[in-house]
Amino acid sequence: MHEERIKMTNLNLNTYKGLEDSVEVPVYDPTALVPSIVHLGLGHFHRSHFCYFLHRLLQQGRTNWGIEEVDLLASATKERAEKQDYLYTLCSKDPQGGEKACIIGCIRGYTEGWKYPERVTELIARNQTKLITLTITEKGYCYDAENQSLDWMHPSIVHDLAHPATPQSAIGHIALALCTRKDPLTIASCDNMPSNGKVLYRCIKQYCEQVFPEVLPFLEQSVSFPLSMVDRITPNTTEADTAHIAETYGYQDAWSVVSEDFLQWVIEPEGLEGLPDFSKAGAIVTGEVESYEMMKIRLLNGSHSALAYPAYLLGYRQVDEAMRDEYLRKFIRECYMQEVGKSIPSIDGFDQEAYKDQLIARFQNRSIKDTILRLAQDGSKKFTNALIPALQYALRNHLPLGSMVLALVFWIHFLETADPSVIDDGQKQELLSAASVIESEPQQFFSLIGISVEQGSALKQPLLTSLEHVNHNGVAAVLSTRT
């Protein structure tokens, strides 16, 4: 009987109310929502994070807003999403093995932006749209962090400059829509990127200066770009996750999302007037977003990268398994986090040591099958944002930095010894070349991650000494002596 029910019950608008005994279902009518939000970059994280905040408000009856989703890159999302009337299950799992499942119904439309750019412009420009949110990853902003400028040589920007009426980039789409926009608008980046709102504003402004200068007064007076910091570990959904939903809750959901139970969104108040009050759903509205952001990027993201490379070299492929290694866990919590934490300003009323302990518990969550190779992706960008500023702070203030240097050494050893096919980085070839001559020309490697010649001179000997220890004694032995 149970197997028959699994085969026959598929999640959609006609079936979700009958599932309320096993999962939380919307008390609101998804079809009655007014799509006042346009989101660029529909992915797992967005559906576990922002959509859940909105779902909470809808459950409380505090808003009737829904979301129009847009993907600017080719995706196979459309068929699965439409088949389920845009409903999906969010299954959040805690470190103790408990879980909670709820059906989310706030998504009310989906546009394949790479096929229909004119539809994207229409959605952003219409007065009904009050909020634009983005999860397009750091790459999607076409931003040159070194020069703090729009990357004018990025292929999508080159295309948009030549064909501004049919843009490819998020920057080009938003700028074009602002040409016909009349009402004020809030545009919120929900990507893990330092000063994300400032970066987004800078990119759009620079693009408009070149392409749509007539838009600049409206941009500066009527469009807000609040800073935000987001956090919820959300791995890619696996076939096992889909099977678990069916076996546990008795229905089929081909578009489900699995995340940890931890959830955090910190956003500044600028531009939130007239929007739903997300603080009622648990968001932190504060003027200290950049302090929270620095803490999260340097401690969570930085620790992820510091863990990924030695863990992979030791044979671990799952994050929770690696964190059960005593020496890896101690290296991250007692060495790396302690050094990095000294570079982070205190936040009133916030316990940084408790936050570090919470991170370790989250990394150890056996129910979240996050992979080591996912953490190892784009090390050049992640370390540049998360580790290098902390390392530079330590250099300036003559603070301990041995564990941060060792994290770089493990990355170099990974580049030297891992199968090149598992290395996923936008600067892969440059990194491999620099790693091959690290002993004779370390500055070639340092330059790739934003370390100056002067800083490189100070770091050269500690790095080469640690690298020699790893090469001669192995990762496990070095970790055992370090901790």
Q: What's the burial of 29, exposed, middle or buried (CB within 10 Å: 0-12/13-18/19+)?
A: exposed
In this structure, the number of other CB atoms found within 10 A of the CB of residue 299 comes to 22
Query: What is the spatial distance between Cα 144 and Cα 203, in angstroms, rounded to a whole number?
Result: 10
pTM: 0.88
pLDDT of residue 483: 67
Please say if the pLDDT value at position 7 is more than 80: no
The residue ranges of every structural domain in the chain are 2-286, 290-482
Instruction: Note whether 317 and 371 are within 8 A (CB).
Output: yes
Pick the CATH number of 290-482 from 1.10.1040.10, 3.40.50.2020, 3.40.50.720, 3.40.190.10: 1.10.1040.10
pLDDT of residue 194: 86
Nearest to 307 by CA among 382, 381, 394: 382
Give the percent of the chain with pLDDT over 90: 92
Mean pLDDT score across all residues of the chain: 95
Query: What is the spatial distance between Cα 72 and Cα 117, in angstroms, rounded to a whole number?
Result: 8
Q: Which residues of 111-127 are buried (b: 16+ CB within 10 A; e: fewer)?
A: bbbeeebeebbebbbbe
Q: What is the pLDDT of residues 386-403, one digit of tens each?
A: 999 999 999 999 999 999
Residues 6+ apart with CB under 8 A from 233: 259, 260, 262, 362, 365, 368, 370
Tokens of 379: 């090390």
Nearest to 312 by CA among 480, 433, 483, 475: 475
Rg (CA), the chain: 23
What average pLDDT score do residues 258-278 get?
96
Q: Which helix (H) or strand (E) holds 415?
A: helix 402-417
Instruction: Note whether 138 and 170 are within 8 A (CB).
Output: no
Q: What is the pLDDT of residues 52-99, one digit of tens each?
A: 999 999 999 999 999 999 999 999 999 999 999 999 999 999 999 999
Q: Label each residue of 288-299 as H, E or C.
A: CHHHHHHHHHHH
Q: What is the pLDDT of residues 190-246, one digit of tens each?
A: 998 889 999 999 999 999 999 999 999 999 999 999 999 999 999 889 999 999 999
Instruction: Note whether 387 and 404 are within 8 A (CB).
Output: yes
pLDDT of residue 21: 84
Nearest to 37 by CA among 64, 18, 13, 59: 64
Instruction: Note whether 103 and 25 are within 8 A (CB).
Output: yes
Tokens of 225: 């770009």
Q: Which residues of 462-481 are buried (b: 16+ CB within 10 A; e: fewer)?
A: bbbebbebbeeeebeebbee
Query: What is the spatial distance between Cα 72 and Cα 121, in angstroms, rounded to a whole number?
Result: 12
Confidence class for position 3, pLDDT limits 50, 70, 90? very low
Backbone angles phi, psi at 343, to 5 degrees: -90, 0
Residues 6+ apart with CB under 8 A from 148: 202
Confidence class for position 6, pLDDT limits 50, 70, 90? very low
Residues 6+ apart with CB under 8 A from 338: 403
CATH class name, domain 2-286: alpha beta
Please say if the pLDDT value at position 150 is more than 60: yes
Query: What is the spatial distance between Cα 303 and Cα 327, in angstroms, rounded to a whole number?
Result: 14
Confidence class for position 5, pLDDT limits 50, 70, 90? very low
What average pLDDT score do residues 149-178 get?
97
Confidence class for position 145, pLDDT limits 50, 70, 90? confident
Tokens of 285: 């509205």
Instruction: Note whether 234 and 261 are within 8 A (CB).
Output: no
Q: For residue 363, how far is the Cα from the chain centroid?
A: 16
Give the percent of the chain with pLDDT over 70: 98
Query: What is the spatial distance between Cα 94 and Cα 366, in angstroms, rounded to a whole number?
Result: 9
Q: What is the pLDDT of residues 283-305, one digit of tens each?
A: 999 999 999 999 999 999 999 99
pLDDT of residue 163: 97
Query: What is the spatial distance between Cα 158 and Cα 149, in angstroms, rounded to a whole number?
Result: 14
Site of tokens 């919470």: 358
pLDDT of residue 470: 97
Tokens of 306: 């510091």
